[in-house]
């Protein structure tokens, strides 16, 4: 069998020889109607019958794995795709370093591994639920298509985790797969598992910030899980990462296009002061300080997804060889971390200070540090757009202690520069840092649909190039 090619003959496209794995095939076929029901109930609202120009994976070969065509979303071919198995792959970190990668779940780590797979799986449908209302206010058909592409691929990522649960975790895996369809983002009784996935994504600026910041947590976590000694998880995550790249592209370019439009409109109107918010808003574009506050919100919320700075869960997962570090293979140390240290920002006597902690306990902090570096790259590109148009403003990521709900700084208030604030000071100044009701209602007022072929809402610039190199007047969604 050619592992790179995907078998599209059965109900569930796959490159894992599902046809020869009757038990798992049946289990997935049984799970399928529940998934489709969930997609109808919780997937993009109002566009299920529309034809969307989507890419579908036809191979896992890094070159040319995608095919573009018009598809109705409920008919999208969701399936199970794993990157090819690497011959003789060894576990590259932790106490089992140097041993052959596991093709079956090691009994002693079963619960830990299942928890990681379930948490990863839970985020995928959550994001679809969070974004389900956005189609109705899309600023263009191009953006609407990108939203739906992200949505169907998050759906496929759910399939990826459900395959692992059904194939490797027996009865409890099947129960977990069911539960993934039962929880709901923001539901007070059955919420999604992680904080950021229960927040609303009420407008398109939030969507772009989410795909920039939160999907990037997805990238970092998938990179760490792609190192896993449990080979099927590693292979699944390696392929998911190829899809994730497009989601972050949507986020980065979406924010860039909003910034560009704002700066161009300001220049044209002769407004140089980015803080002259009333005047900027009158132009029908989003002022830069509001964009900064949105970034503050989404960045801080996403930092919580890395867990506590000091974590025995993270230490155990690394020691066991289940979850590695970002690009583990490129790091030059013993890959066991039994003795090293890592500097961790901590709250010591009311002050935020660096303190060396055992490297094994500080793995969440380390991944978070790698994440912040990665985030700053795109922020630099946003600032380039602003400075090239000549507006005196710079977007900055807030301090990691700002607006936190998990870990070291969850019990204090800090400003965006990391100065500790009293409760009273925080209440007074919160509006400087985070979007206010007024910001939200202004953004909402701009969220008017623009479904005319080749046209864009006035608050966002058109993209530089089309998807699949299509021309500017391409009909990315044929609305039914
Ligand atoms: N919210 O030792 P701790 C993506 C819990 S995004 C609520 O501090 P640990 C995507 C934690 O579960 C990537 N609870 O942290 C993006 C634990 O509870 P239990 C998703 C939280 O375990 C966009 C307790 O606090 N993938 O793919 O080292 C669109 C103490 O935990 C939170 C993964 O996250 C929170 N924010 O690290 C679509 C990878 N943080 O067990 C998709 C898998 C912590 O004591 N998950 N807690 O009841 C993991 O590696 C880890 O579970 C975490 C937490 C990094 C999330």
**How confident is residue 2, by pLDDT bands cut at 50, 70 and 90?**
low
Query: Can you tell me the distance from the alpha carbon of 321 to that of 318, in angstroms, rounded to the nearest whole number?
Result: 5
pLDDT score, position 5:
74
Q: Would you say 122 and 115 are in contact if contact means Cβ atoms under 8 Å apart?
A: no
| Verdict on whether the full-model pTM lies above 0.85 | yes
Query: How large is the average pLDDT for residues 45-58?
Result: 95
Ligand 1 within 6 A of 479 CB? no
Of 131, 126, 118, whose CA–CA distance to 185 is shortest? 126
CA distances from 379 to 221, 295, 385, 426, 439 (A): 20, 10, 10, 26, 21
- Cβ of 300 below 6 Å from ligand 1: no
Query: Does 234 sit in the ligand 1 pocket, CB within 6 Å?
Result: no
Q: How far, in Å, from the CA of 194 to the mean position of ligand 1?
A: 6
Residue 188: its pLDDT value, please? 97
**What tens digit of pLDDT does each residue of 229-253 get?**
999 999 999 999 999 999 999 999 9
Ligand 1: which of 120, 134, 307 to mutate, judged by most atoms within 8 Å of the beta carbon?
307
pLDDT score at 4? 67
Q: How far is CA 25 from CA 159, 185, 271, 437, in A?
A: 13, 28, 62, 49
CA dihedral 188, 194, 200, 206 (to 10 degrees): 170
How far apart, in whole angstroms, are the C-alpha atoms of residue 68 and residue 59? 13
Instruction: Categorize the per-residue pLDDT at 3 as very low, low, confident or very high, splitting at 50, 70 and 90.
Output: low
Residue-level pLDDT at 60 = 83
| pLDDT at residue 1 tops 50 | no
Q: What percent of the chain has pLDDT over 90?
A: 94
pLDDT single digits (tens) 145-161 = 999 999 999 999 999 99
Q: Which residues pair with 70 in a beta bridge?
A: 53
pLDDT in tens, 73-120: 999 999 999 999 999 999 999 999 999 999 999 999 999 999 999 999
Ligand 1: centre distance to CA 221 (Å): 10
């Amino acid at each position: 069998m050619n592992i790179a090619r995907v078998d599209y003959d059965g109900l569930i496209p796959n490159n894992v020889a599902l046809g020869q794995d009757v038990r798992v095939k049946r289990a997935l076929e049984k799970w399928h109607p529940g998934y489709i029901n969930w997609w109808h109930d919780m997937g993009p609202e109002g566009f299920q019958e529309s034809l969307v120009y989507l890419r579908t994976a036809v191979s896992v070969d890094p070159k040319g794995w995608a095919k573009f065509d018009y598809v109705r979303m409920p008919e999208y071919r969701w399936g199970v795709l794993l990157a090819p198995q690497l011959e003789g792959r060894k576990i590259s970190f932790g106490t089992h370093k140097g041993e052959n990668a596991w093709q079956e779940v090691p009994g002693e780590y079963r619960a830990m591994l299942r928890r990681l797979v379930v948490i990863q799986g839970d985020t995928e449908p959550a994001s679809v639920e969070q974004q389900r209302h956005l189609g109705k206010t899309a600023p263009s058909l191009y953006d609407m298509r990108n939203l739906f592409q992200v949505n169907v691929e998050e759906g496929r990522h759910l399939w990826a985790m459900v395959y692992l649960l059904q194939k490797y975790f027996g009865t409890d895996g099947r129960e977990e797969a069911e539960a993934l369809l039962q929880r709901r983002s923001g539901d007070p009784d059955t919420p999604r598992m992680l904080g950021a996935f229960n927040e609303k994504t009420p407008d398109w600026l939030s969507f772009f910030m989410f795909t920039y910041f939160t999907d990037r947590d997805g990238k970092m976590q998938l990179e760490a899980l792609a190192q896993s000694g449990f080979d099927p998880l590693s292979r699944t995550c390696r392929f998911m990462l190829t899809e994730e790249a497009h989601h972050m592209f949507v986020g980065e370019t979406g924010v860039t296009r909003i910034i560009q439009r704002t700066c161009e409109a300001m220049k044209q109107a002769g407004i140089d002061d980015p803080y002259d918010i009333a005047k900027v808003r009158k132009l029908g574009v989003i002022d830069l300080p509001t964009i900064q506050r949105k970034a503050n919100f989404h960045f801080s919320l996403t930092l919580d997804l890395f867990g506590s700075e000091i974590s025995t869960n993270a230490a155990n997962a690394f020691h066991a060889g289940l979850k590695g570090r970002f690009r583990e293979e490129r790091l030059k140390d013993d890959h066991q971390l039994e003795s090293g240290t890592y500097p961790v920002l901590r709250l010591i006597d009311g002050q935020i200070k660096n303190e060396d902690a055992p490297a094994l306990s500080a793995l969440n902090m380390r991944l978070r540090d790698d994440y912040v570096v990665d985030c700053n790259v795109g922020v630099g590109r946003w600032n380039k757009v602003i400075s090239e148009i000549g507006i005196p403003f710079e977007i900055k990521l807030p301090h990691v202690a700002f607006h936190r709900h998990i870990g070291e700084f969850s019990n204090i208030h800090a400003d965006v520069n990391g100065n500790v604030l009293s409760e009273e000071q925080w209440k007074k100044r919160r509006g400087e840092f985070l979007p206010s009701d007024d910001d939200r209602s202004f953004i909402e007022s701009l969220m008017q649909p623009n479904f005319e072929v080749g046209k864009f809402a006035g608050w966002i610039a058109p993209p530089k190039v089309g998807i699949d190199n299509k021309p500017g007047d391409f009909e990315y969604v044929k609305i039914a």
